[in-house]
Chain A
Amino acid sequence: MKLLTHNMLTSHVRGVRPGGGFPLRIKATEVKVNNVDFNQEFTARMVPKVEWGALVEAAESLGHRGDLPSEPIPDYESNEDFLRKVHHVLMEVEVVEGMLKCPDTGREFPITKGIPNMLLSEEET
C-alpha cells in the first residue's frame, strides 16, 4: 500500500463520525521502497488533493519522510526538486505488512503482502 493510497483511505465502519475515520494510523512491521518512474504532472496534480498533515505524519511514522517540508511550498508546480521529494513519499514508499487503525473506533485493518483488508463484519456495516 503506497502512501498516496493511504492518504485517500478512510474508515467506513458504521458509527464513525464524519471525517473521524481519517487518517488511519499506520503501524508497519515491514516497509519497502520501490523505484517508480517520476511523473511531474501527476505529482503536481496530487499536491493539492493530498491531506498534507496526514502525509507528513504517515511518512514520518515509517521513517521515510526525507526532507519533505511541513507545508507544500508556493509555486510547487515548477519546482522539480520539491516534486521529486513528494513523488518519493507518495509513490515509492510502500507498507507491506502492518496494521491500519481507525482513529475514531480503534478498529484495526491488517495489511498483508501490501494489501489492506478492509472487510467489515456484519455488525460494522
Chain B
Amino acid sequence: MAASGKRPEHRGPPELFYDETEARKYTHNSRMIEIQSQMSERAVELLGLPEDRPCFLLDVGCGSGLSGDYISEEGHYWVGMDISPAMLDVAIEREVEGDLMLTDMGQGIPFRPGAFDGCISISAVQWLCNADKKTHRPPKRLYRFFSTLYTALARGARAVLQLYPENSQQLELITTQAMKAGFTGGMVVDYPNSAKAKKFFLCLFVGPTAVLPKGLGTECSDEETAQAKFIRERIRFKNAKGQSVKKSRDWVLEKKERRRRQGKEVRADTRYTGRKRRPHF
C-alpha cells in the first residue's frame, strides 16, 4: 500500500491508482511483498480447507499475483480477478499459475453457481466503499459483489476477505451487505491491540454458521474459564489498594511484622494469632 498518511482509496479509482509505478512496488518492495504474503497465508489458513485436497479458489483483487502464488504453493488452483491492467501485466510477467481476468468486482462475479471451493481477497474490498464514478452507489456495488460471490461459491465454502476499513461505518456497511447477500460469519481481528499489526479478515460462510476462528494476539482466557481450578492455596482477600482488610488475620500478622521491624517486642505467631474470638469480647 502507499506511503503513510492518506488512504489510497481517496486518491482515485483503483484502476488509476494501481498504475505501472505502483505495480512495480509489488515486485520490488520486499517489505510489501512480505506483508502481502503473510496476509495471504493467514487468509488461506482461515479458509479451513480440507487437508491435502486440491481446491479451486477465487482470488478477488489478485493484483500482481502475490496471493495467488501462495495459493499455488499450497497445491490449489485459482482464478484471479483485478481491475488494474498494469497489475495484471505484472502478474503475466511473473508467470503466475492462475488464470487472470480484468473485472470490476462491484459489477458482479461472473461465474456459474457453485463454481469455487473458496475465495480469498487481500486488501481489495474496501475499494468498493468509495464512489469513483458519478454513477457508483457503494451499497449497491457491495451488494452486487456479495450476492454474486455467494452464488459462485459451493455449499459449505468460505470467503475470507482481508481489508482495511477506514472507520466503523465502513465496516458496518460492508458486513451489512454481506449478511443481506445470505452469508453468515463475521470479522476476525488479528492483533487488535496493535495499531501497526492489526488486521481485519471478514470470514463469510455459505450455508449453516460455522464457528468463527479466533483472532491472533487475543488473550486466550476461554480455555481456563471453562474448567474450575483446584488449588491448595487459600486465596487471601485484599481490598482495592492491595492492602489486607482491617482486623483480619492477615492484617494482624502484617502489623506484628511491622512492629518487629521497628524493634518492638512482639509475641510469637501461633495458630491462635488473629483467631476469631467468642462473641462476648
Contacts and interface: CB of A to CB of B under 8 A. Distances in A.
Interface of A: 1-2, 4-5, 8-12, 21-22, 39, 41-42, 45-46, 49, 51, 113-120, 122, 125
Given A8-B79, A8-B111, A8-B115, A118 B103 contact: yes
A125 B107 contact: yes
A10 B54 contact: no
B148 interface: yes
Nearest to B81: A118
Interface stretch (B94-102, B196-204, B224-232, B235-243): B94-102
Given A117-B102, A119-B103, A125-B108, 9 more contacts: A1-B99, A1-B101, A4-B56, A5-B79, A8-B111, A10-B111, A46-B56, A114-B92, A119-B107
Contacts, number: 72
A125 B140 CA distance: 11
A86 to B, nearest CB: 14
A113 B112 CA distance: 24
Contact of B133 (A21, A42, A122): A122
Interface residues on B, range: 20 to 34
B27 to A, nearest CB: 17
B77 to A, nearest CB: 6
Contacts of B56: 4, 42, 45-46, 49
Contact of B102 (A39, A115, A122): A115
Contact of A22 (B109, B112, B133, B148): B112
A44 to B, nearest CB: 10
